[in-house]
Structure 1
Amino acid sequence: MTIRLTLDGRPVDATLNDSAAARDFAALLPLTLDLSDFHGTERIAGLPRRLDTSGAPDAAEARAGDLAYYAPWGNLALYYRDGGSSDSGLVILGHVADGDTERLATAEHVTIEAGS
């Protein structure tokens, strides 16, 4: 599924994978979230509810451009740098279009909508 992220007024295209968590995330759209930095690798925001992570692997290794859900905290993570070692409870939801990861690093707000 294609989605559109608007980061501080600038559009970025992304694609969600076909996991249960990604489908559950898509059901929440549209969303407008305030972002904060976490560990110099990702922008994070709380979601209105926890996502269904049935069938998800126990851990995933995030790469720059990944959209992910961190199940222990119930938050969305937008990675602008590689996340390093695999993280227990991290579920990859999708990926932003190549070349658009630099916008993630400084974004304060994001609106996420289903794509056309």
Structure 2
Amino acid sequence: MTASLVISHSSHSQTQIEGRSARGVRALRMLGLLSSLFTLGGNGEALAGPRVISTHATTATVQSEESRMWMTVGERRFAITLADTEAARAFVAVLPLTIDMPDLNSNEKHAKLPKALPTSTIRPGTVHNGDLMLYGAQTLVVFYLTFDSSYSYTRLGRIDDPTDLAQVLGRGTARITFSRD
């Protein structure tokens, strides 16, 4: 971001101006940083004080609760951390949802949702045990094995602890309930 202005034809003068400009930019950045620190610190209290830490902890707890949902299969309940995507927010809006999900390729359960969701597809390369994704705009997929894939999906979330997920889902169709609580 260093701007250079040539006042004379000598390279020495140009170097001096560039050096001053770079020092000026650094000084402005430092001034902005100090200004931010004073603003955050209020009346000169230390930034590491309990007020700042407790505010951060409260925010983290609120975000954690907002980004959580549940998947229940029979008697087993799995916590899911939602992705920060428009599709995940739209999926939560249709909950609670109980849906029969047939098996596909011996690595996933899938089902058509009642309505299409917004998409933002990615090619993950490797799909992981516990990934909750959207294929197309309306097919919900729960993956219970890790494998490489060339397909595109929209990320909805991830099962926090997918241990025994394959056994719990079993072969064939599984009745799964998705809920916020």
Interval containing the TM-score (normalised by the shorter chain): 0.7 to 0.9
User: Offset of 1:105 from its aligned partner?
Assistant: 4.3
Per mean C-alpha deviation after superposition, the further-off stretch among 100-109 and 24-33 is: 100-109
Match of 1:101 among 165, 174, 178: 165
User: Offset of 1:109 from its aligned partner?
Assistant: 0.4
CA spacing shift, 1:49–1:4, aligned 2, 3 Å: same
User: Offset of 1:84 from its aligned partner?
Assistant: 1.5
Q: Which runs of 5 or more residues in structure 1 are unaligned?
A: none
C-alpha distance in 2 between matches for 1:77 and 1:6: 15
Structure (1 or 2) with the greater strand fraction: 1
Greater relative contact order: 1 or 2 (C-alpha under 8 angstroms, separation 6 or more)?
1
Per mean C-alpha deviation after superposition, the further-off stretch among 15-24 and 99-108 is: 99-108
CA RMSD, Structure 1 to Structure 2 (Å): 1.8
C-alpha distance in 2 between matches for 1:8 and 1:110: 8
User: Offset of 1:71 from its aligned partner?
Assistant: 0.9
C-alpha distance in 2 between matches for 1:60 and 1:105: 25
Point out the structure with max Rg over C-alpha: 2
Deviations 1:58-99 (A, max 9, x none): 433421100010016x211000012422313x1121111222
C-alpha distance in 1 between matches for 2:82 and 2:164: 15
Match of 1:47 among 103, 107, 113: 113
Q: Secondary structure at the match of 1:111?
A: strand
CA spacing shift, 1:15–1:104, aligned 2, 3 Å: farther
CA contact (8 A) 1:33 1:109 kept: yes
Q: Secondary structure at the match of 1:87?
A: coil
Aligned residue in 1 for 2:88 = 22
Match of 1:92 among 145, 150, 155: 155
C-alpha distance in 2 between matches for 1:26 and 1:97: 17
CA contact (8 A) 1:68 1:94 kept: yes
Structure (1 or 2) with the greater helix fraction: 2
Match of 1:76 among 140, 144, 151: 140
Query: Structure 1 vs Structure 2: percent identity of aligned residues?
Result: 33
**TM-score after normalising by structure 2:** 0.56
C-alpha distance in 2 between matches for 1:92 and 1:66: 8
C-alpha distance in 2 between matches for 1:83 and 1:49: 28
Matched, 1:34 2:97: no
